[in-house]
Structure 1
């Protein structure tokens, strides 16, 4: 597969990573474990289950881990992206989209978002806990990855990180891994292709705010946003590139990083968009039952006499879901993904607030029509 990425320089793991992957592919999973290893595995599985209840608990777990281990950049990136996942989930029960989607569409879309959020957590979080236990015990436990069905690709990268820490390479590897992990399990899943992508494709791309990933932060008492927009959700290549751009937006500008961390630490994630814009959204419905929707916004400010838009908390919108076990199998088959370690050519500005405001205005216009679009 040809992958075309603009090049600035290579943070090159190609030599050692290719060789290490070849070696590890030939190593068989050990047949027996020590009592210490069994204890570590048991603890990690238990903690992962406890935190993998819903989007709010997952998002908090990422944040808590990052505060303890800021060298693991993906933990903050995962936290911020997971916040957006929660906002997308509650949008389905919010004031605007409730008028545009059928109940079946809402549940299909939520199932898709929740499964992806759950899958990524049950793959990524055990990696973090293995790293934590390795630090505590002053010896690496990454050989336990196969017992958690974690890719040999990540076992190799973490083992290298243990001896030669490089946050950039580890983060890009985790971006590649998590999106590749989702590809067959969610994106190519026939159920979701039929119920979500084929039926809701136009709505996903043109109407819903799903394709805007927002990183709020506060500066001089005003909430600002950085982020990126994804236009081809079904493309693994585009999702990986999006992850790289989001990483640049969050970590390349140290002021944005510090302010985003500060905002995230102060504002607990609830799933409601009130978390970042309480002047526009409220987790309590301020309208009257059955009233016709009226324009509330202009340039992301309430019109005179306008009321805030209902955006429920996750707890209010959706019950916890019991998930089936993750499908087995290692996504890693060949080394074509190495090209993704190339750094992006240009500084990513990340300005997204104007585009997001325009999306909200389009949603309002559709809601005002009081009918589902292209139903």
Structure 2
């Protein structure tokens, strides 16, 4: 599938589909979450994490992120194409799902959506489906369990920013970040709840949704964090190689005289990866997942900017300390 080349092409395909079919909310949610996947990939080669992770750790974590991003796309996008074709022909074609190894769960839900147009049920079903689809293929995969979770989880969860999902938008010309934080990636239950919270953050407030859509359309995804914060990040390295790290930020603003932090575009950070075929098998076998269709009863406000700023400062301190330690040796 031509769109499944890398994170940038996948992310663009989700947005293009959403603009044609705004009733499929997950396409925009998937677009915004996929942007975060790309930022996490390029962070591995960016100025800060380059000082904190070994080359092997970077490759392992990229391979895990890329496999997950690829798998979700090659499961979700054929569903979108068949929906599009169904509309063209004015007849549901979801009976074709098994030929694309798409779960019987989604076949049932799309048929229900075709009849009743319940956007929320379709979105939550896609969240449930994609996270369960990933579970055996990536999260429980011995390779990633050993190379990523057992070795890197503490580093990546507690110290770094991989657990923040950010949705940028402009309000009166000023950058705002909304989103959520994930604390237990290895739990499928927590990932589904996170997906539901992110859906609420994005679609429950019409103004936030409109502003985020406008931002996404006018800022093509490159993988660099410069996409949303060009005053702090740059996709060109402004520093001198090998020079000891200096703290750049104070409360998410550059200190006087400080240069921007290097955040490369995806094409400059990683080469395309040829993926092996997705593992076969239908995850669906337990009706208990229907409980996830119940409304979240917790209030969700999406406030994440302060937390993300603190994380950036923590990463900067870690990068400085690491350089200081190697300097002492």
Q: How does the TM-score come out when normalised to structure 1?
A: 0.86
Contact 1:99/1:372 (8 A) holds in 2: no
| Structure 2 equivalent of residue 356 of structure 1 | 308
Matched, 1:266 2:218: yes
Q: CA separation of 1:316/1:165 partners in 2, compared to 1, >3 Å: closer, same or farther? A: same
Q: Which residue of 2 aligns with 1:85?
A: 37
2:117 maps to 1:175: no
State the secondary structure of the residue aligned to 1:369: helix
Is the 1:102–1:372 Cα contact (8 Å) retained in structure 2?
Answer: no
Q: Which of the pair has more CA radius of gyration? A: 1
Number of residues of Structure 1 aligned to a counterpart in Structure 2 = 325
Q: Which residue of 1 aligns with 2:256?
A: 304
Does the aligned pair in 1 maintain the 2:233–2:260 contact within 8 Å? yes
CA contact (8 A) 1:142 1:159 kept: yes
Number of the residue aligned with 1:40: none
Q: Secondary structure at the match of 1:123?
A: helix
Q: Residue 370 of structure 1: CA displacement?
A: 2.5
Q: Does 1:97 align with 2:52?
A: no
Deviations 1:284-317 (A, max 9, x none): 0000111111000000000011000000000000
Partners of 2:293 and 2:323 in 1: CA distance: 45
Classify 1:372/1:105 alpha carbon distance in 2 versus 1 (closer, same or farther; 3 Å): farther
Stretches (4+) displaced over 6 A: none
Shift of 1:240: 0.2
SS in 1 for 2:92: coil
Offset at residue 204 of structure 1 (A): 1.6
Normalised to the residue count of structure 2, the TM-score between the two structures is: 0.98
Structure 1, gaps ≥5 residues long? 1-48
Determine if contact 1:100/1:372 at 8 Å carries over to the other structure: no
1:333 alignment partner, one of 285, 303, 317: 285
Encode CA deviations 1:11-48: one digit per residue, 9 max, x unaligned.
xxxxxxxxxxxxxxxxxxxxxxxxxxxxxxxxxxxxxx
Instruction: Look up the SS of the partner of 1:209 in the other structure.
Output: coil
CA contact (8 A) 2:244 2:323 kept: no
Q: Deviations over 1:49-104 (max 9, x none)?
A: 10000000000000000000000000000000000000000000000000000000
Report the counterpart of residue 46 of structure 1 in structure 2.
Answer: none
Give 5+ residue unaligned stretches, structure 2: none
